[in-house]
């Protein structure tokens, strides 16, 4: 098993080595095409994320097992809810939706996850998850019934990220939502990066190389891309 993914993300951040996670949604992923998929993703991919907003029981485990079979990249769970947690992965983003005010996604799902996590050796990485307006209604917004933060409200986003850090979150994830019309604005990324000391992940609506580079330039330690690799 790959050890200490959180530590390796911190090292990369300190050394300014940019990370790229490709997100696989078990709900739409065809496990029989795993090999083809792995050939289609960028050579500089550093992590595979697995998760989605509506995934049936057992699908995550099957997808993780299939990816593990053909790839040695670290596999990190990015679950929409606690039912997607499996010890077949290497680590778990233990997300708390700190932009929202729905207790179920701030602490409810996390408490439900504990009985599994106590049995597992999965690395748990506490992550403050901040939903930002990406121009269309995201699955996160729909499922969590929380509103995204407006991109223009930079101070509120920075304060939310800092509150996450003060609460002890180990990373901050700025999320525009899967399939967002537009990604998190570089000015938002820059302001958050300047404020927090913990690693910064950015995803949602990043389709083009320039958008990825802009996110890195603004201070993202890791960019997460999903939709644009879904159909190879």
Positions in the binding site for ligand 1GP (CB under 6 A): 23, 175, 178-180, 203-206, 224-228
3-state secondary structure 168-186: CCCEEEEECCCCCCCCCCH
Residue with Cβ nearer ligand 1GP (90 or 175): 175
DSSP 82-140: GGG--TTSSEEEEEEETTS--HIIIIIHHHHHHHHHHH---EEEEEEEEEB--SS--HH
Q: How far is the CB of 225 from ligand 1GP (least distance, A)?
A: 5
Residue with Cβ nearer ligand 1GP (161 or 224): 224
Q: How far is the CB of 180 from ligand 1GP (least distance, A)?
A: 6
Q: How far is the CB of 11 from ligand 1GP (least distance, A)?
A: 23
Q: How far is the CB of 183 from ligand 1GP (least distance, A)?
A: 8
Asked if 228 contacts 220 with a C-beta cutoff of 8 angstroms, the reply is: no
CB atoms under 10 Å from CB of 169, counted, come to 22
Q: How far is the CB of 118 from ligand 1GP (least distance, A)?
A: 27
Q: How far is the CB of 44 from ligand 1GP (least distance, A)?
A: 16
Residue with Cβ nearer ligand 1GP (45 or 227): 227
3-state secondary structure 64-86: HHHHHHHCCCCEEECCCCHHHCC
Q: Which of 46, 103, 97 is nearest to 75 (CA)?
A: 46
Residue with Cβ nearer ligand 1GP (100 or 205): 205
Q: Tokens 């029981």 — which residue?
A: 57
Distance CA 19, CA 67 (A): 19
Residue with Cβ nearer ligand 1GP (14 or 54): 54
Residue with Cβ nearer ligand 1GP (164 or 226): 226
Residue nearest ligand 1GP (C-beta atom): 203
């Amino acid at each position: 098993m790959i050890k200490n993914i959180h530590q390796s993300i911190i090292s990369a951040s300190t050394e300014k080595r940019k990370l790229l996670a490709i997100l696989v949604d078990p709900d739409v992923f065809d496990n029989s095409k795993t090999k083809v998929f792995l050939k289609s993703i960028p050579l500089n991919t550093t992590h595979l994320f697995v998760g989605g907003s509506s995934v049936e029981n057992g699908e995550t485990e099957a997808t993780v097992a299939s990816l593990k079979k053909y790839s040695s990249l670290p596999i990190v769970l990015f679950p929409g809810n606690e039912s997607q947690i499996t010890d077949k992965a290497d680590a778990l983003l233990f997300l708390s939706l700190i932009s929202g005010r729905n207790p179920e996604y701030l602490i409810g799902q996390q408490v439900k996850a504990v009985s599994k996590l106590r049995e597992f050796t999965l690395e748990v990485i506490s992550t403050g998850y901040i939903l930002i307006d990406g121009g269309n209604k995201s699955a996160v917004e729909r499922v969590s019934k929380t509103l995204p933060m407006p991109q223009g409200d930079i101070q509120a986003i920075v304060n939310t990220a800092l509150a996450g850090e003060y609460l002890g979150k180990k990373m901050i994830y700025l999320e525009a939502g899967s399939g967002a019309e537009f990604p998190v604005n570089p000015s938002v990324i820059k302001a958050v990066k300047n404020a927090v000391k913990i690693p910064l992940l950015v995803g949602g609506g990043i389709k083009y190389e320039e958008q990825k580079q802009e996110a890195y330039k603004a201070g993202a330690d890791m960019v997460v891309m999903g939709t644009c690799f879904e159909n190879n």
